[in-house]
Chain A
Amino acid sequence: MRARALGALLLSFLTLCVPLARAEPPAPFPPDQRWQVAADARAGTSTGPYVTAAFPETTAYGATVTLRGRLRWTRRFSVGLRVPLVLARLEQPAGALYAEAAWGNPELYGAFDLLRSEQGGWTLDLTTSLALGAPLAEHDSAQLAGRVLSFADALEGFGEPELFTPGVLPVTPAAHLLLSSGSWRFGASLKLPLLTRVSDASLPSDSATRPLGFVPVGELSARRQLLPWLAVTAAPRLTVRAVSPVDDHASPLQLLVIGQAEFQLGAALSAAAVFQAPLGGALGGSTLAGGLTFLATF
């Protein structure tokens, strides 16, 4: 398992050229900029819980690819879109692999810059957002798409349930705080995804789903600009499956640690290499991911 995880991590760094998925809005969006587009990719391996009796767990390796765009509508209001896709190789019970792909739930959000304050060399930005997901991610009777999405959810440490939970209508209010001074930037995010079940028709009758899921996700981050072209970020993210949308017997708490090296490639373009690993919980020791982000702001 360890060797496979390391192999997948190495592969992700060496071979992925497609950019990745973060809680939106993840990066500062200066008021004088109109567009922000990004592509995120996470590649890794995971063994995580699944919801049916025949498949109490899912083992896979692969990648999530999320395209996102954000448009400043007014000086303080912007709208954004995230479209997630998952490509995975699902390990079958005897050990063979099936290559499968599945869409996650596309998400449309509005973000409002609530506060900007400058004091004593520090700048404080507070943004709130509300996202509505399209319930397009579905279970299928073969439990292939469902397991692919479960794999993607695990790669994110359960921290993107609104994107990767099938059969639900996600509504996600969130708040994002950024505190900047000189070469330092500290962030805090809290999002409260509410997942209303709209379909579980393809799940076997022994699967326990809940009509409503509530999975708060909190993230802290510290970013240091080391060089004009290089910044590093460390961020722990805690997911609390207060009301899990499915009864998969997983621990309700999942910590994910994220490390990121960000490279300024030009005035409007940056790229980041990301490493993330769940600690403890249902995924610690069995899930590992790395990836790239390309972000353009103009």
Chain B
Amino acid sequence: MPYKFSLGGLAGAMLCLACEPRVCEDRANASDALPQRLSETGLFQDLERERLGPGVFAYAPEFVLWSDGTDKRRWVFVPDGAQIDTSDLENWRFPRGSKFWKEFSRDGVHLETRLLQKVGNGDADWAAAAYLWRQDQSDAELAPYGAIDALGTTHNVPASGECFACHDGRSNRVLGFSAIQLAPRSEATPERLPETAREALFASALPTLDVPGTPTESAALGYLHANCSHCHNQSAAAQSAEKCLNPNQELGFDLDFTLYTDRLTSVSSTATYRTALGRVIERGNPDASKVMEVMASRQGGVAQMPPLGTERVDERGLRTLRSWIGAL
């Protein structure tokens, strides 16, 4: 691009009229370390038959991020001989070479598969990009700038820089693969990670962790954790991270960052109850609760929550929160 104006900062400065919080850095070079095709990433050793590559394990977090109703599958890989350091329950440390994939499909058609790959030893050393599936589903191509309306659907594939808008909210950059999402519960629950995977991935067994409250309360707290807490959390790392989203750090919806301090012994010990009640959540009155208003909005920008990655309201999620707030 011989004539592309190089002073992107000038553009940012001149257009920073409203201090738009959604402005991201173009971090497409974050995908430089990644292969050009999904078939080269190690996810599958036989892509057509979907035979996973060696050391790759499927997992399913208990609380999931709303992605406009797409079907999602997830996988994790840790290099042979290395393991995830879970000694800090609130912030696992991942060895260099770790990989996470998340696949998005609609009506059985694969649309994109995102890859998050640890490329250094520091917590922030991750590369990220999406792979856009070919129309014939034979493979997926690296798409560092994403795509709009992938394969004729309404699903948009994020640009690399956008990945970090959410992932920078955690000091280890990993979302959905954490103690609160994967640890065993006191009561029988569906397996989130096969035992063979747990043995291979973790240096020590995960403790039993329960989300407090009634089923309604824990469902609501889990929903807020999965959908809001990657930005709205009060951990020091989140406050200091360079994020393109700069949310109100006074609010916290996370469950992870209270594991040590409170052991999640009661709902009142959660960040949500401590920081959001009376501010964006009005006891017994979902209609007066800001959190419901922004969740029900898809006007774009920060008038809607989440502000990125969704164009459809999560009606089921709204019902979950409405029941909970109404009963508070």
Contacts of A101 in B (CB 8 A): 4-5, 7-8, 10-11
Categorize the interface residue count of chain A. 35 or more
Q: Bits for B288-307, please: 1 = Cβ < 8 Å to A, else 0.
A: 00000000000111010001
Q: Among A20-28, A87-95, A189-197, A281-289, which stretch is in contact with chain B? A: A87-95
| Contact in complex: B145, A54 (CB < 8 Å) | yes
Contacts of A94 in B (CB 8 A): 146, 156, 158-159, 162, 165, 308-309
Complex-state Cα separation, A54 to B159, whole angstroms: 11
Contacts of A140 in B (CB 8 A): 1, 4
Contacts of A143 in B (CB 8 A): 145
| Contact in complex: A54, B132 (CB < 8 Å) | yes
Q: Bits for B1-32, please: 1 = Cβ < 8 Å to A, else 0.
A: 11111011111101101101011111010000
Complex-state Cα separation, A170 to B97, whole angstroms: 50
| Contact in complex: A138, B159 (CB < 8 Å) | no
Is residue B64 contacting chain A, with contact meaning CB distance below 8 A? no
Most buried by A among B5, B22, B148: B148
Is residue B144 contacting chain A, with contact meaning CB distance below 8 A? yes
Contacts of B71 in A (CB 8 A): none
Chain B, residue nearest A137 (CB): B3
| Contact in complex: A96, B145 (CB < 8 Å) | no
Q: Bits for B88-128, please: 1 = Cβ < 8 Å to A, else 0.
A: 00000000000000000000000000000000000000000
Is residue A268 contacting chain B, with contact meaning CB distance below 8 A? no
Is residue A117 contacting chain B, with contact meaning CB distance below 8 A? no
Is residue B244 contacting chain A, with contact meaning CB distance below 8 A? yes
| Contact in complex: A54, B146 (CB < 8 Å) | yes
CB distance from B214 to the nearest CB of A (A): 34
Contacts of A3 in B (CB 8 A): 299, 303
* B142-199 with Cβ < 8 A to chain A: 143-149, 156-159, 161-162, 165
| Contact in complex: A142, B144 (CB < 8 Å) | yes
* B259-313 with Cβ < 8 A to chain A: 299-301, 303, 307-309
| Contact in complex: B146, A92 (CB < 8 Å) | yes
| Contact in complex: B161, A92 (CB < 8 Å) | yes
| Contact in complex: B17, A11 (CB < 8 Å) | yes
Interface residues of A (CB under 8 A from B): 1, 3-4, 7, 11, 15, 53-57, 61-63, 85, 87-89, 92-103, 136-145, 202
18 chain-A/chain-B pairs, Cβ below 8 angstroms: A4-B300, A7-B18, A54-B132, A55-B148, A87-B10, A88-B11, A89-B23, A92-B162, A93-B157, A94-B165, A95-B308, A96-B245, A97-B24, A98-B25, A102-B5, A138-B3, A140-B1, A142-B28
5 nearest A-B residue pairs (beta carbon): A140-B1, A93-B156, A99-B12, A94-B158, A101-B5
